Amino acid sequence: MHGSGHSHAPDAMAGPERAAGVRALRLTLALTAAFTIAEVVGGLLAGSLALLADAAHMLSDDLSLGLALFAAWIARRPAGPSRTFGYRRAEILAALANGVTLVAISIWIFIEAAQRLGEPPEVEGGLMLGVAVAGLAVNLIAALILRGHSGHSLNVSAAFRHVLADLLGSIGVIVAAVIILTTGWEYADPVVGIVIGVLVLASSWSILRDSMQILLEGSPAGTDVEQVGRAMAAMPGVRQVHDLHVWTITSGFPALAAHVLVDRDSDCHAARRALERMLESRFALEHTTLQVDHEGGELLQIEGAPDGDREGRR
């Protein structure tokens, strides 16, 4: 058998993009954590569910950012015999936890809103408006910080979605405060709270979907595995491609493994190198493990060979 692997160590992914993403997470955490306290106090003083719902979501931002930073730290730990890819998937577990947290927060918002729709309490619209405007400014700054890094990591992307949903929530609170101040309609507060709850729930879907896709070792987003297999089978000298697997180790780290049969007179090593170059250039698959054999290379007995050398490849 002619087998060979082409591998890149997991720490090859720890580039400047990931380091910049960590710095962005730290700065965003400092901003959101500082404002969360102010929004909770303002929500309690104003008696506003919309503000408290937005504060609860911002608290989830703080938790998600903290988890993201912890995951980024633990992901840098070196690989070992028991964890050959290291702790790269820690960030995916953190993203999954963030998604579950968003679902739990949305449920709490719906329950509280239902109670307030029955008997809406008096809301201090002026204080509610001031806090909401400040929250909008904080979320805009946080979104601008994270936007440029969300494409490199699912973990940063999850935090970015938190902030976007919170930004929309701040706009909703501003609308509710203006309605209360101009019309006195107190129901605007729980109604906007429900809208924020829906936004929170919607933002959790893509996070849960993407993290589960990776944990269940589904194919990377945007990668057509059948097209990859056809491209491999069309390479010169390749006869068949078996056991093709394409999955994602962590954000931005796709991997491929396959068993390839080539013509009997082909150079297995040259075929493997050609396949690796094609997979990297056409499909951005850098981490590949290819077992390359000659077609019809079953074991046979070699006449006249010593006992220890009688097995060979046809």
Residues of the chain by 3-state class (helix, strand, coil), percent to 5: 65, 15, 25
The SS3 assignment for 106 reads helix
- Give me the phi and psi of 91, to 5 degrees please: -70, -30
Which element (helix H / strand E) includes 280? Answer: helix 268-283
Q: Give me the count of residues in the chain.
A: 314
Class of the CATH domain delimited by 220-297: alpha beta
Instruction: For domain 14-215, give the fold.
Output: Alpha-lytic protease prodomain-like (1.20.1510)
Q: Report the C-alpha gap between 306 and 239 in whole angstroms.
A: 33
Terminal C-alpha separation, the chain: 10
Which residue, chain included where needed, has tokens 């910080």?
145
CA 30 to chain centre: 22
pLDDT per position in the chain (314 positions), as tens?
A: 444 444 443 333 345 566 677 788 888 888 889 899 989 999 899 989 888 888 887 887 787 788 778 777 776 777 667 776 777 787 788 888 888 888 888 898 899 899 888 888 888 899 999 999 999 999 899 888 887 666 556 667 777 877 887 888 889 899 999 999 999 898 999 999 898 888 778 878 888 888 899 999 999 988 999 999 999 999 999 999 989 999 998 877 899 999 999 998 889 999 999 999 999 999 999 899 999 998 875 433 334 444 433 333 43
Q: Report the C-alpha gap between 20 and 150 in whole angstroms.
A: 11
Q: What's the pLDDT score for residue 175?
A: 92
Q: Report the C-alpha gap between 99 and 153 in whole angstroms.
A: 15
CA 300 to chain centre: 49
78, β-bridge pairs: none
Put simply, whether the predicted model's pTM sits higher than 0.75 gets the answer no
Query: Domain locations in the chain?
Result: 14-215, 220-297
DSSP designation for 237 = T
Do 211 and 96 contact (CB within 8 A), yes or no?
Answer: yes
